[in-house]
Structure 1
């Protein structure tokens, strides 16, 4: 199943370190088949607040997403961003192409009935 690395960059800014980070990040993603799906765009906020921008990188699976983040190549450039941009980052496993929220609801309902 695909996995995604998501970053909420609350204080995006452009400076030499951030530009260098951008110049070098793709080379860190390539060995793990990571691909940008959303990169540094201002989201349309429809609920709550979302200061800053969002980044979404897709990987073939959660193992490769974790391996990319932990890689020496990425850890080497990460301080270039962290020194200048406040944010949060997560890795999350995606769902398969046949995922159906209705089936999930049915399973949860059945589990609740058995527990009750």
Structure 2
């Protein structure tokens, strides 16, 4: 079974925020539920844009952005780092199957 998809969906919610780990962009940090991107499972930063620069306009302020001059590409993989991810070279779910051929690139394969 090497299709890149798990044979079942895990019901684990490591941070107890109500978003299952398989769908949670930040599985060890609770979602803040403030009506802003609540479905991603990540806490949202509230800041006053008048005092916080965001040079690449990706929504991640420069002092928290690992790539402040290049916009994040929001693909549910390391979206909080502020850097775009190469979907061809990456293995988002870290199951050993490259995204280029993985039918489920955001959910790890479970070999059985």
Determine which structure has the larger strand proportion and give its number.
1
TM range (shorter): under 0.3
Larger RCO of the pair (alpha carbons < 8 Å, separation 6+): 1
Q: TM-score, normalised by structure 1?
A: 0.22
